[in-house]
Amino acid sequence: MSDDSRPSPSAAPATARTAVVIPAAGRGVRLGPGAPKALRALGGTPMLIHAVRAMAASRAVSLVVVVAPPDGAAEVKSLLDAHALPERTDFLVVPGGQSRQESVKLGLDALPQGHDIVLVHDAARPLVPVDTVDAVIEAVRDGAPAVVPALPLADTVKQVEPARTPGEPEPVVATPERARLRAVQTPQGFDRATLVRAHETVTGDVTDDAGMVEQLGLTVVAVPGHEEAFKVTRPLDLVLAEAVLARRRLNDGF
């Protein structure tokens, strides 16, 4: 590895406490009509509760900030009270914004002092295994200012000229080399000061927090993601999530 490609040293010490921001304020338009996506049931329990439990399963996590639908903070607080969650973890609920980026910023603004590592995790990725969470935290502790869990792609990807009218054929303009591409998941992990600076500095459309850190000119590193950390986006994803959960329950004997 050349000096240039080394991650910049993170300000987060090895003993740093970890907080998680869970953006859960989206509508879930692509999933179809119904309650806000994070509040919809998966195996009889709201998707958000699965995501909260997945984060709190890491012994390194001491605080979870849930960013609720703008008019749903009271409902989310009641849900957290009604479900068993680890006692070692504190919980905060704040109302979210109009975009994922805005919701994450509102969650960050609510973070008390004393947590120097921050993870951002989609409520829409309810089944991420704890080993993936811990791998991300460890990479931040090891000095990376920003860490993403990532998987190789199974499909070939084409860059197109987007159609002006939906359904029209789209000219293909390039085929990026698949071996160098990764599908990026959450939780994404950050040295807190880096993430705060990114959210205070970077404007414009971004689809993930690590992308904002890239725009600061800092190095983002990828660690292995997990197939079960997929995002519930469309109806078929919910079918898969139910199947994964049913298999886990069978394996765990309950």
Ligand X SMILES: C[C@](O)(CO)[C@H](O)COP(=O)(O)O
Residue 207 binding: pick among ligand CTP, ligand X, none (C-beta 5-8 Å cut-off by kind): ligand X
| x-or-dash string of contact with ligand X, 91-110, rule CB under 6 A | ---------x----------
- Decide: is 120 part of the binding site for ligand CTP (CB under 6 A): no
Cα–Cα distance for residue pair 23/72, rounded to 1 Å: 13
Residue 106 binding: pick among ligand CTP, ligand X, none (C-beta 5-8 Å cut-off by kind): none
C-alpha angle with apex 189: 124 to 3, nearest 5 degrees? 140
Cα–Cα distance for residue pair 127/193, rounded to 1 Å: 28
Cα–Cα distance for residue pair 124/195, rounded to 1 Å: 21
Residues 194-253 that bind ligand X (CB under 6 A): 207-208, 231, 233
| x-or-dash string of contact with ligand X, 108-137, rule CB under 6 A | --------------x---------------
Cα–Cα distance for residue pair 248/84, rounded to 1 Å: 18
Of 7, 26, 149, 225, the residue at the interface with ligand CTP (CB under 6 A) is 26
Cα–Cα distance for residue pair 80/72, rounded to 1 Å: 12
Residue nearest to ligand CTP (CB): 26
Of 29, 84, 154, 179, the residue at the interface with ligand CTP (CB under 6 A) is 29
- Decide: is 184 part of the binding site for ligand X (CB under 6 A): yes
Residues 65-104 that bind ligand CTP (CB under 6 A): 67, 96-100, 103
Distance, C-alpha 31 to centroid of its chain: 18
On the question of a cis peptide bond just before residue 187, with omega within 30 degrees of 0, the verdict is yes
H or E stretch covering 66: strand 61-68
Tokens of 10: 């993170």
Q: Which amino acid is at 120?
A: V
- The residues that touch ligand CTP, with contacts defined as CB under 6 A, are 23-30, 37-38, 67, 96-100, 103, 122-124, 231, 233
- The residues that touch ligand X, with contacts defined as CB under 6 A, are 100, 122, 184-186, 207-208, 231, 233
